[in-house]
């Protein structure tokens, strides 16, 4: 099963929301099978801005951080079909266009899960289910991916 990471998970792993969330995000990412993780290009773009704005990094530091993520995991590109899917999500499900890009690119990359703290947990579109990885109880698909359930 493939899983996409939303911007907030990446930002937390960079320490943007404090040490406790950094530890939780890094533990989560470390527990995921590395070959299952996909990073939507939109999430990487948003991470760059978050690291500068909220993380108070210089652009050079933010660039180094996103390059590190891109070197570690495959990046799902924003294709024409992703943009059309994002527009459909914005119209039919009232998601922001930018969140729609992340969800549609996860779908195009063959992901079954999108881990996000601020999208609608449980929402499923094109076989991708949104799950909050920091919520209790843990979503069953995430539990399965982490190997915590038979």
CATH architecture of 2-145: 3-Layer(aba) Sandwich (3.40)
Position 148 pLDDT exceeds 80: no
Q: For residue 118, what pLDDT is reported?
A: 87
Asked whether the predicted pLDDT for residue 149 surpasses 60, the reply is no
In sequence order, the 6+-apart residues with CB closer than 8 A to the CB of 4 are 37, 38, 39, 40, 43, 76, 102, 105, 106, 109, 111, 113, 114, 115, 128
Q: Tens of pLDDT along 53-108? A: 999 999 999 999 999 999 999 999 999 999 999 999 999 999 999 999 999 999 99
Taken in order 91, 93, 95, 97, is the CA torsion positive or negative?
Answer: negative
Contact 108, 85 (CB under 8 A): yes
- Give percent of the chain above pLDDT 90: 92
Q: What is the pTM of this model?
A: 0.94
Tens digits of per-residue pLDDT, 42-63?
999 999 999 999 999 999 999 9
pLDDT of residue 85: 97
pLDDT over 70, % of the chain? 98
Q: What is the pLDDT of residue 150?
A: 45
Q: Check whether 28 has a pLDDT greater than 90.
A: yes
């Amino acid at each position: 099963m493939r899983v996409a990471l939303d911007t907030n998970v990446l930002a937390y792993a960079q320490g943007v929301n404090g040490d406790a969330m950094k530890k939780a995000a890094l533990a989560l990412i470390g527990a995921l099978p590395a070959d299952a993780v996909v990073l939507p290009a939109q999430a990487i773009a948003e991470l760059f801005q978050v690291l500068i704005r909220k993380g108070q990094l210089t652009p050079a530091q933010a660039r180094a951080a996103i390059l590190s993520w891109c070197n570690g995991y495959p990046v799902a590109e924003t294709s024409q079909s992703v943009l059309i899917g994002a527009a459909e999500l914005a119209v039919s499900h009232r998601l922001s266009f930018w969140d729609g890009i992340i969800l549609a690119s996860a779908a195009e990359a063959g992901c079954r899960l999108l881990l996000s703290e601020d999208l609608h947990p449980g929402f499923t579109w094109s076989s991708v289910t949104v799950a909050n990885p920091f919520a209790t109880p843990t979503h069953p698909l995430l539990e399965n991916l982490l190997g915590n359930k038979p």
